[in-house]
Chain A
Amino acid sequence: MKNDSVYYLKDITAPETPEPGENPSPWTNTTIIGKRLPRVDAYERTSGSALYPSDLLLPNMVYGAVLRCPHPHARVKRVNTRPAEGIKGVLTIITGTTPEADVWWRNEDGYRSKLFDPHCHYEGEAVAAVAALDPYTAQDAVKVIQVEYEVLPYIIDEERALDSDAPRVHPKGNLVDTESYERGDVDQGFAQADVVRERPFHTRCEIHTPMELHGCVAEWKGDTLTLHESTQGVYAVQAKVAEALRLPLSRVRVSGRYMGGGFGSKLKAGKYTVISAILARKTARPVKLVLTREETYLAVGNRPSSHMTLKAGVKKDGTLTALQFTCTGTGGAYPAGGVALVDWLIRDLYTCPSVKTECRDVFINAGPARPFRAPGHPQGSWALEQMMDELAEALHMDPVDLRLKNIPTVSQGRTGQPAYTSTGLKECIESGAQSFGWKAARQRNKSSNTGTLRRGVGMGGCVWFVGGGGPPSTIIVKLFKDGSVNLNMGASDIGTGTKTIMAMVVAEELGVKLKNIQIENADTGTTQYATPSGGSKTVPTESPAVRNAAIHIKQKLMEMAAEELDCDFEDLEFEGDEIIVSSRKEQRIKITDIPKLKKQGVIVGVGYRGPNPENKSVNPFGAQFCEVEVNTRTGEVRILRFLGAHDSGRVMNRLTYDNQVFGGITMGIGFALTEFRVLDTGQTGKMVNRNWHDYKLPTALDVPADMKSLPIELDDPEANNTGAKGLGEPVTIPTAAAIANAIYDATGIRITETPAFVPHLITRLNDLAKEG
């Protein structure tokens, strides 16, 4: 018989339904979760019908543009807007003296500034803004506003920021903070070591370059502001804007159902958000304000540069005895985590009894940092994983074996050293090495590396600081009387496939077809509170709550069925699209036939994210392996292949999982080989490579066709009820270091400064040749 009901796939067994108040046990077998399924919104995204904030066109909408300070440090003395006022199509201009724009902007650590602060601490600080009938007029108008600046002395070199004669970014001086950590006794550790090595490392500042630019559309209806923002977290934007404009949260609605990437740079509102709201209020029309690519290079975040020194001691058998690490970094002109988490891998990744780290965060006159995919980790990995290889070489050990010798089971860097709920670090390294053919490749390259094209292999391991997710999260799932479903969640899908995975969780529990699930998400007006999608926590945070909401529906269905069939809840089970009485199998009822469901039209299930396990740490792990070819005549590096072995708990969707692995490796390749901010040191202090040509993202040809994703799927019932851990960030942590190690394996040259590109390599190769 043809099953024409919307509800229930054939041949799917819904997981057992726990009684109310009981926690669901982890799935043992799954029918949908883990499959390689295309995104539920793939058609919309690829056909162009998905409406991103940048695409939005509202009736009567006008366009905003921001005038930005062209100097790294300056004081605005006078702004003459008259030339812009005369341009046809210009509707309003706001500056620091416009009453409606006299708004405080709170930076971190109590550093307050005005929305249009007369004291501009970095190139790209907002000075004025315009609304006009079209975006081109708005940009033209901004260009003719005359600003008289008092140009101030600036500092853009973080290594000189603490010199006594360095210009001060803020009156208190250029030191933001020094963070220290210590366990054990490093002096004793180095004394016990058979081999001690020390080396400086340097990584350059990397810029977020999401496909969709930063921006929003602001619209007032009466006293209520609606913002359509390209964001990772609608509730975070709501909070920031409400604070700046002194509005109750209820009067700021933020929606961001689609967004074109953020990588951490869209975790909160920008000044542009508030500016667009003010422009919209002044013009009484919706205002779209999307930054130009050049503006995003200056003003909406970056991965801080770092100057690191790492000293390491190891015994002959490969046991680490001590690690000592220092770092100077900068989050730019405001406190922005300039050294945040740079030392985490040194503290936590490999077993080591004695560790000492000291990280200094300093101010410079450059655009503030924002969290960038695994903040701090790729930088620390650049130092640690290269140092591990150096130790292995000194010990005549295989780099893989040295790492396997030092696998921790507890999170050493945390207070109380809690155990991990699961750690796949060992399996990632072992299975990764095996699948990659590590030993054979090393042997092969050793014997064949005589010509000018030298091959080498390199690897690195990783842990991500968080990645277990946690409360709060509230999810509402509605089951309609025909069996189709509405999933309501506050979280943004930042391109990782969140919506697809959550729909799969619903499908897994309720057996409903993916195409019959409608998703309502990322809107403070219609969906529940969610923290921003970042920190690789969206799946482990939201999926358990989604599962709970779906289970809640099943419980309600069974309660209804129990009433109808006049039996106990415990005696019921799901079978296909029916609920049956276990003890009397002939007694059954089709879900869509339950009278109460038919009558009330919908069942609402609510799911909450429960707490994480106490005294345990939930973290994803990984290891990456690569093979490179270096042309020793020219210094060109070609990446031949890559393998990412990642333990992120349960694989929720193999297709989006692999996408994350390949995307993270691609981004790591950019960090390693091509990307760096260039400031005009010693002259204007301005950024010179603020476009997609001069700031070089890796292209398809820079990324190897041979990329492999090897999930190390470990059960983690303690982590949460889906057993998933985060993935988006660990996948970019060890990439750059693995490449540097492979370059060393190929050439004997250790590239300690990013990027490992032709100018650096050819210089070193030439020096090496001269030394003979």
Chain B
Amino acid sequence: MLPHFSYIRPETGSEAMSQLSDPESFVLAGGTDLLGCLRERIFPVRKLVSINGLAQFHGITETEDGGVRIGALTTITEVETHPLIQNRFPGLARGASEVASPQLRNQGTIGGNLCQKPRCWYYRGEFDCLRKGGSQCFAAEGQNQFHCIFGGDGICFIVHPSDTAPPLIALNASAVIAGPKGKKRQVPLEKFHVLPADDLHKETVLNPDEMVTEILIPPPPPRTRSTYRKVRARRAWDFSLAGVALAVHIEDNKVVNSRVVLSGAAPVPWRSKAVEDVIQDRELNSKTIADAAQAVVEGAEPLEHNQYKLPLFQGVMEEELLALTNQA
């Protein structure tokens, strides 16, 4: 069933990094996504490097500037329930709570959640699709009801499956990435995921010999509210049909700053600058909200079977902005 692979469980970070130099090696954290990919033989795997022995990549701590550091191995449940996250970044806690099912949240990690492979049924199925090195994107003309409306660029129409990435991006978080020979780099999560037009064969900027070690969330500006709302076909264990993460800073009833990120919309968590621009410096009244709902689907390129996502995103955007004003 599974391909033959070697399994290594390093005890130090540097050992883990050196093991990753093999191009067909993969990081194993919670394994909730990777094991399925192995079973379906979505991509070749020669070596699994389990990082579960590396305690330093686990846990949630407050940083000196009032932000938060989340180790990549921290489980989704821990993110969902940690008081620091719940109090300071409720949008992220909400996003984590919307992931999959309790069992999967207990097992899955935040690092893994950001690095998920696409859930497109052609990609996961017995189809020699473009992203897997084939000659055709089957979703383009096929059963594309759960596919993207932005960013497919006529190439590949996956949606990014993460529910934690949109709130993290809304909160301006970044990923700390470890590379070979002790190299480290920090990448804003907004620039972490890769569109098909930029590279069809990868979903993140990670090189094969790199891995995410932690997530950094800067301290939220005062009076910033973060939320996440997800609509799906069933109420648990399901990916987003349409979701919206908001981090909105309101002063004197006006939007001073906002970051709006969509799930279920694009091959990457999709930052909706159009909505941000529309609500900038405005009061969140019904006119603004209606304009935002129009803006959220601006430039969308729906496929044959996913046109419903246009009114759906409009509805979700309207509901979420309205909920913000009701909180005020």
Contacts and interface: CB of A to CB of B under 8 A. Distances in A.
Contact of A681 (B119, B143, B238): B143
Contacts of B122: 688
B295 to A, nearest CB: 16
A295 to B, nearest CB: 12
A70 B126 contact: yes
B308 A634 contact: no
Nearest to B310: A766
B234 A673 contact: yes
A348 to B, nearest CB: 33
A688 B119 CA distance: 12
B311 A763 contact: yes
A705 B135 CA distance: 48
B319 A758 contact: no
Contact of B238 (A638, A696, A763): A696
Contact of A688 (B143, B234, B316): B143
B308 A759 contact: yes
Interface residues of A, number: 42
Nearest to A769: B311
A195 B127 CA distance: 51
Contact of A690 (B2, B125, B145, B318): B125
Contacts of A678: 121, 143
B238 to A, nearest CB: 7
Interface string A91-102: 000000000000
Nearest to A452: B319
B233 interface: yes
Contacts of B312: 634-635, 758-759, 762
B233 A699 contact: no
A701 interface: yes
A765 interface: yes
Given A70-B126, A452-B319, A634-B231, A759 B145 contact: yes
B207 to A, nearest CB: 29
Nearest to A686: B126
Given A140-B1, A634-B319, A673-B234, A765 B121 contact: no
- Chain B, interface SS category: loop
A699 B234 contact: yes
Contacts of A578: none
Interface in B220-250: 231-238, 241-242
B142 A682 contact: yes
A683 B126 CA distance: 13
A684 interface: yes
B122, B141, B312 pick with most chain A CB within 10 angstroms: B312
Interface string B144-155: 010000000000
A758 B237 CA distance: 16
Contacts of A765: 311
B53 interface: no
A694 interface: yes
A680 interface: yes
Interface string A688-713: 11110110101111100000000000
Interface in A625-676: 631, 633-636, 638, 673-674
A136 B2 CA distance: 8
B40 to A, nearest CB: 9
Contact of A700 (B231, B236, B311, B316): B236
A684 B1 CA distance: 24
Given A136-B1, A678-B143, A696 B315 contact: no
B63 interface: no
A139 B101 CA distance: 29
Interface string B123-143: 011110000000000100111
B138, B143, B242 pick with most chain A CB within 10 angstroms: B143
Given A681-B143, A686-B126, A698 B234 contact: yes
B234 A674 contact: yes
Contact of B315 (A638, A682, A686, A762): A762
Contacts of A681: 142-143
Contacts of B233: 674, 696, 757-759
A693 B237 contact: yes
A163 B55 CA distance: 65
Nearest to A635: B312
Nearest to A632: B315
Contacts of A682: 141-142
B172 interface: no
A682 to B, nearest CB: 7
Interface string B70-111: 000000000000000000000000000000010000000000
B116 interface: no
Size range of the chain B interface in the assembly = 35 or more
A636 B306 CA distance: 16
Interface in B266-323: 305-308, 311-312, 315-316, 318-319
Nearest to A674: B234
A688 B307 CA distance: 20
A105 B141 CA distance: 37
Given A680-B142, A683-B141, A762-B308, A634 B315 contact: yes
A637 B233 CA distance: 10
B174 to A, nearest CB: 30
A701 B138 CA distance: 32
Contacts of A673: 234
A686 B125 contact: yes
B237 A763 contact: no
B308 to A, nearest CB: 4
Contacts of A691: 124
B167 to A, nearest CB: 19
Interface in B16-71: none
A682 B319 CA distance: 37
B2 to A, nearest CB: 7
A758 B306 CA distance: 11
Contacts of A694: 121, 124
Contact of B231 (A636, A680, A701): A636
Contacts of A701: 234-236
Contacts of A762: 308, 311-312, 315
B138 A680 contact: yes
Nearest to B119: A693
Interface string A744-772: 00000000000001111011011000000
A698 B231 CA distance: 15
B43 to A, nearest CB: 16
Contacts of B142: 680-683, 688
Interface in A137-180: 139-140
Contacts of A689: 121
A136, A681, A683, A684 pick with most chain B CB within 10 angstroms: A683
A70, A702, A758 pick with most chain B CB within 10 angstroms: A758
Nearest to A695: B121
Given A140-B1, A686-B126, A689-B121, A699 B308 contact: no
A688 B312 CA distance: 24
A89 to B, nearest CB: 13
Contact of A702 (B127, B235, B316, B319): B235
A135 B138 CA distance: 32
Contacts of B308: 635, 758-760, 762-763, 766
Given A683-B141, A758-B232, 20 more contacts: A70-B126, A136-B1, A140-B1, A633-B319, A634-B231, A634-B312, A634-B319, A635-B315, A679-B143, A680-B138, A680-B142, A680-B143, A683-B138, A686-B126, A686-B127, A691-B124, A693-B119, A758-B308, A759-B145, A759-B241
Report the 5 A-B pairs with minimum CB-CB distance, sorted nearest first: A633-B315, A701-B235, A766-B311, A699-B236, A688-B121
Interface of A: 70, 135-136, 139-140, 452, 631, 633-636, 638, 673-674, 678-684, 686, 688-691, 693-694, 696, 698-702, 757-760, 762-763, 765-766
23 contacts: A136-B2, A452-B319, A633-B315, A633-B318, A635-B312, A635-B315, A636-B231, A674-B234, A680-B138, A683-B138, A686-B126, A688-B125, A688-B142, A691-B124, A694-B121, A696-B233, A700-B236, A701-B235, A702-B234, A757-B233, A758-B308, A759-B233, A766-B311
